[in-house]
Chains A and B, each alone.
Chain A
Amino acid sequence: MNPPVLVVDCETGEETTRPMTDAELAQWQADVAALPPVLPPTTLADQIAAAVSAGVAAAVPNADAAAVTAAALDSLTPQPTAASAPTTEGGTTT
């Protein structure tokens, strides 16, 4: 049996549920197949990395693209901050 359609007649207030016709079913299946998927969330870092990779791939010869991409992404990665050397003020180490 074809899936049900809920029809609300706004003029009479009447509600009916009826099976889809075969033509409606074919259209509905085509609609469902054509709808874009919901994409999973991505982080801003993911989006930047993808943009860098795409940009490098377009601008750099194939043999060098991987290395350039790696270097570019590495430069975008936050580097750990070097620990500050203890300072001595007035005989007190801070």
Chain B
Amino acid sequence: MTVSGPLTTHGIPKFADTDVPDLGAGGVGSILDTLDGLIGAYKIAATTVGVGGAATIDFTNIPQTFSHLRLVALLLDTGAVTIVRGVVRINGNTTNNYTWGGIEAPAGTPVYTNGTTTGWGQMAYVGASGSYAQGGVWDALFPDYANALTAKALHGVYTALSAANSAYSGISAGTFAVGGAISRLTLLPGSTAFAQGSRATLWGLP
């Protein structure tokens, strides 16, 4: 289900801050700037995986209207094993253009990096057994995603919800070393498929 509807029929709220006086750090200007960012966020699309699951969740034709993209997802895997990895692919690019690293606590390798480039970027957890209690939550930011000239950054925070897996949480950052705006994000699970009830929301930030 897409909550926000097509962009072509919705005005996209933009709150330019050129009329906000800059009163310095911590001043009214800063507060308004913060509110500006919150108010101006636009829900581009929200989806929930239905019966039968989904091997991938594919956001296509992402509008280039915003400054940044934010993805918030609750991800469940159909596998009955423990939590698995989840990753993202940009613009359908499957070649080794992604680098990433991060910190996980307290998994066996708390500080990690992929070492070499891979065909996908970012890291997250995907909960097991299709159970909300086993879910993995992922909050990812794609700054300056519409810039056509430079490589893209991927920043993310992820954690597992279940009590049994509460030790699993991490921070991940990396790059996608290909110029061009991001117009497609594909979420991939690390095991079988996203289970029914998995959901993902894509936000545009001003």
Contact = CB atoms under 8 A, between A and B. Distances in A.
Interface in A1-34: 3-15, 17, 20, 24, 27-28, 31-32, 34
Number of contact residues on B: which range applies? 35 or more
Interface stretch (A38-46, A53-61, A72-80): A38-46
Interface residues of A, number: 32
A28 B106 contact: no
Given A15-B2, A27-B94, A32-B190, A5 B61 contact: no
Interface in B150-200: 167-168, 188-191, 193-194
Given A6-B57, A20-B55, A28-B56, A41 B167 contact: yes
Contact of A13 (B4, B49, B52, B58): B4
B2 A8 contact: yes
B18 interface: no
B57 A8 contact: yes
Contacts of A5: 54-56, 58
Contact of A12 (B6, B47, B167): B6
B167 A7 contact: no
Interface of A: 3-15, 17, 20, 24, 27-28, 31-32, 34-44, 47
Interface of B: 1-2, 4-8, 44-45, 47, 49-50, 52-63, 82-85, 87, 94, 106-109, 112, 118-120, 125, 167-168, 188-191, 193-194, 202
24 contacts: A3-B54, A6-B50, A6-B57, A6-B58, A7-B58, A7-B60, A8-B59, A10-B45, A10-B62, A11-B6, A11-B7, A12-B8, A13-B2, A13-B6, A14-B2, A15-B47, A17-B50, A17-B52, A36-B112, A39-B107, A39-B108, A39-B109, A40-B107, A40-B108
